[in-house]
Amino acid sequence: YSLGESAGLFAMGAWPDRGQMLKRMQGTDLFTTSLAGRCNAARKAWGIPSNDDVNWCVAIVNRSADRVRQAIKNLPTTRLLIINTTDECVIGGRKIHVEQAIKALGCEAVFLKGVIAVHCDAVEPVAEAYKALHIFPTAQIEGLRFYSCALGKSYELSSESTASSILNQALFGFDFPTIINQAYKDGVRLFLEMGPGSSCTRMIKHILAGKPHFADSACINGEDDYVTIFKTLGRLIAERVPVSLESLYGENANPADDIVWKKTKSTDKITMIVGGKSPIPALPILNARDKKTNAKTQPPENNNQYSGLMKSIAENIEVTSRSHQKFLDFSNKLTKNFAKTFDIQTRLLEAMMRDKNQVPHRNNEIALSRDMCLEFATGSVEKVLGPEFAVVDTYKVRVRLPDEPLMLVDRIISIEGEKGSLGHGKVVTEHDVLSDVWYLDGGHAPVCISVEAGQADLFLCSYLGIDLVVKGERAYRLLDANVIFHAGLPQPGDTIRYEIEIEKFVRQGDTYLFFFNFKGWIDNTLLISMSNGCAGFFTEDEVIHSGGIILTEEDSKPLKGNKMDGWKDLVKLYPESYDDDALEGLRKGDLSRCFGPIFKDINISDSLRLPGGRMKLIDRILSLDPIGGRYGIGSIRAEADIHPDDWFLTCHFKDDMVMPGTLMYECCAHTLRIFIQRIGWVTDKPGVCYEPVEGVESVLKCRGPVTPKTRHVIYEVDIKNLGYAPEPCAIADANMYADGHHIVSFKDMSIKISGITRTEIESFWKEKSNTTHKIQQPKIHHPQPAIFDRNHIVEFATGKPSKAFGARYKPFDSQRFIARLPAPPYSFIDRITSIEPKQCLLEPGGW
C-alpha cells in the first residue's frame, strides 16, 4: 500500500541495497521541496504562483470513489489519490479545495499529517527523477509473488518493472480493493500486515467481508510490540500456519542462576479440542502459475481428512515445546534486569524533574496509571481489563475515555464493583492541574475541564460490562446531569479527586441506560457535585430520530427576569451583532474593535479576555438584544462553524467522534461572557477571573450530538438574573442548535467575576465617563413593547418558524418551504411593535 510497496521490495530482499536508497534520498530535493515543503512539483504542475502557498493536504473520506469524482470535478486542485474500500477514499490537494470537497461530500474526514504530494499529476514535473530514484538491481526471490499497486496484480520483477510500478502509482494513484480482490482470486487467504499500524488490516477485512480469510497486523499502535508479535503468532498457529518460536530466542538466552524451572515429562500423546475453528477452505489451483512436472501423483497415506492437520499440530507442539523452556528462562532473566533498570531510571527521573509541574507525592497505591488510561482510550480494552474483554476490541464502537488532549484521568486510585455485572460500581480518579497546561483560563481550570475531568464513568460502565451487552451496535450518549460548584475553580498545583458512582443500569427494550453521580474534591474541600446523571446507549438511527429537545408551551412562555434593586446600566445598550473579526478583538483585549467607540481606550485584565487557541469555541455573534430573550432582560446568540477535523471531535472519541457536552456548556459560557462585557462588566484589575456562582445548580439535558457531519451550531442564551453579590453575577438559560436541530439545553448556568465588586465596577466607568461623554452616541427612542423581538426575527430568518410564530407553523420547521427574512449580517430589523391584520388572516391593506 503506497510506500509499503517499495518497503516490501527492500524487506524481502528483492532490492538488496537499502543503503543506496538512503544516499539517494539525501542527495535529492524530492522529499524536501519538490514533493514536500513548498511542493514545487505541484506548484509547477498546477500553475500556482511562486508567492502563493500550495498548502498541500491529504484526507481520508468515508465516501465511494464515484461520489468523490463527482464532488471534485469542478475543484481544480483536488485529486482522488487512493481508493481504500468501496466506501472510503483518500483525497489530496490544496487545502482550500480539499475542504470544499469534504463539504460537498457532507462526510466525515480525517486529515493525515506528513504525507508527500504523490498519487496524482503533481508528480509529473519530477517523474523522471522519481523513477530514477527507484531503479535498483533486482534479485529474484524463489517462492514469493510480488504485487504492483499500479497494475492491480502480480508481476515479474526487474529493475525496469519495479521502478515503473512505483512511478505509476505515484502518478496515477491506485485502487486497493482491486489488488486485494486479485490476490484473493489468485488464492491468497492469509493477509499479514508487517508495517506500523493496522489500517491495511482494517481495509482488507472490509474488502473481503463475508469471504473466508485471515487478516492481522503485527504492529498495532498503542499495544506492546512483544505482546502483538506473540498474539499474531498464536493466531497464525490457529490458522494452521507452521510457526517456529526458536528464532525469537538466541542460543545465549541463558536462564538466571537462582531460578530452576521444573520440567514436565514429555509425551507422545496429543490432546485435541474438538469443535474449534475449522481450517480456511483450500486454495484454488492457479493454472497460470502451475509448473509442469513428470512426477506421478501419490495416493494419500490414509483417508482421514484431518491427518494433515494432526501432523501439522504435532510439529507445532514439538517445536513450541523445545523453545518454550528457553523463553521462560530468558524471560525470567530479562524481567529481573528490567526491574533493576526501571528502578534506577525512576530514581533518576524523580531527581531531575522536581519543578513547578511536579505533582505532590502520594503514598497511596493506584489501580491504573495514566498510561493505562490512555491505553483504554485509544488502544486495547483487553490489555486494561483482561482477556474476558478481548472480544470488545473487535467491535466497531466501544466505550472509551477521550484521547489527548481531553484525556483528563491522570490515575485511577480504586475500582469497586463486579467486573461485567452491570451492577453498582464506584471508581476514584485524580486529575492534576499543571502550570503550563493548555486549558488554563484566567489562571484557572475552566468549568468544562473541572466537570470533564470526572469522565471516568466511561471507564466504569465499560468495566461493569456494558460493551459485552451492546456488542458495538450502540454508542454512549450523555443525556442528563445536574452540576453544583461549591468552591472556586481549580488552580495550578491542585489535584482534583473524583469519586464517581454508577447507581444502576436499566434496560428499556434494546436500549440500556445507567444512572450515576460524582463528587470532586481538592484536598478536603468539596469542589463540585454532579447528581441525576444519566447516559444511554443508542444506535445512530435512534439518535437521528430522537426529536431533540422538545419544549412545551410552558417552557416557551415569556417570564419576567430579575435585575437587582437599584440596577443602573453602566453604558448605553443597543441591539447589535459582531462578526468574526470583532470577536478576535475580544481575544486580543481590544474591546472597541468589537463593541465600538464607547469602549475606546478601555483595557481589561488578561484574565478576562475571550480565550483563543483550542478554546476558541465561537466564531461570531448573530444578535445581542439588551431587552430580548424569554425573560426580557437580555439575550445573545452565537454561532460556530464545525469542521470534521476539529480537535474536540477527533479526540472524543477515537471511533465515535462527538462534541463533549462539557464543551457545549463552555461555548454557552463564552457567549454569556460577551454579553456581560457589553453591559459594562469589565475591569483592568489584575487577578480577577470568571467562575460559576457557588451553590447554583445547573441542569443539562442533551438530546442530540455534534458530529463531523455537523456544519454550524448556534448557542442561544437568555439572561434571567443580573446583580451583584457583591461581585457581578448572572444566571441564564441556554439552548444549543446543530444545523437547526435543538439538541441541548442548560438551565440556570451561572457566571461571576471573582475579585471585584459593584463599587469597583461603577468607579471604573466613572473614571472613563469624561471620555465617554465626548463620544457621539446614536440617538434611540425607548421602543414600544415588541410583539416580535430580535430573537423571533433571527429565529424566523435562520431557525424554526414555529418558534417565531407558534405551533401552527411547525410544518414549516422541516417539511414545507416558507419565505424568510435575510439572516445576519443582513438582518436589519430589531423588533416589530405593531402589525395588522390578525395572524393567518388574509386581508388587503395589512401593515
* Adjacent-strand bridge partners of 59: 91, 111
End-to-end CA distance of the chain: 68
- Dmax (CA) for the chain in angstroms is 111
* Helices 661-678 and 580-587, axial angle in degrees (round to 10): 90
Q: In what order do the strands lie in the sheet with 174-175?
A: 109-112, 56-61, 88-94, 78-85, 174-175
* Adjacent-strand bridge partners of 497: 430, 521
Q: 67: which residues sit within 8 A by CB, 6+ positions away?
A: 105
SS3 (DSSP) at 584: helix
SS3 (DSSP) at 339: helix
* Adjacent-strand bridge partners of 33: none
C-alpha to C-alpha distance for 496 and 519, rounded to whole angstroms? 10
C-alpha to C-alpha distance for 498 and 500, rounded to whole angstroms? 6
The position carrying cell 435585575 is 563
Whether 107 and 63 have beta carbons less than 8 Å apart is answered as yes
C-alpha to C-alpha distance for 758 and 775, rounded to whole angstroms? 24
Active-site choice (431, 652, 742, 792): 652
Q: Which three cell numbers stand for residue 792?
A: 423571533
Whether 435 and 493 have beta carbons less than 8 Å apart is answered as yes
- The sign one gets for the Cα dihedral 98, 100, 101, 106 is positive
Distance set, CA 709 to CA 132, 543, 571, 637 (Å)? 43, 14, 41, 22
Could you confirm whether 652 is annotated as catalytic? Answer: yes
DSSP 127-190: HHHHHHHT-------TT---EETTTTEE----HHHHHHHHHHHHHH-EEHHHHHHHHHHTT--E
- The sign one gets for the Cα dihedral 63, 67, 71, 73 is positive
Q: 596: which residues sit within 8 A by CB, 6+ positions away?
A: none
Judging by beta carbons within 10 Å of its beta carbon (0-12, 13-18, 19+), is residue 719 exposed, middle or buried? Answer: buried
C-alpha to C-alpha distance for 42 and 101, rounded to whole angstroms? 18
CA angle 793, 638, 792 (to 5 degrees): 15
Which residue numbers are catalytic?
652
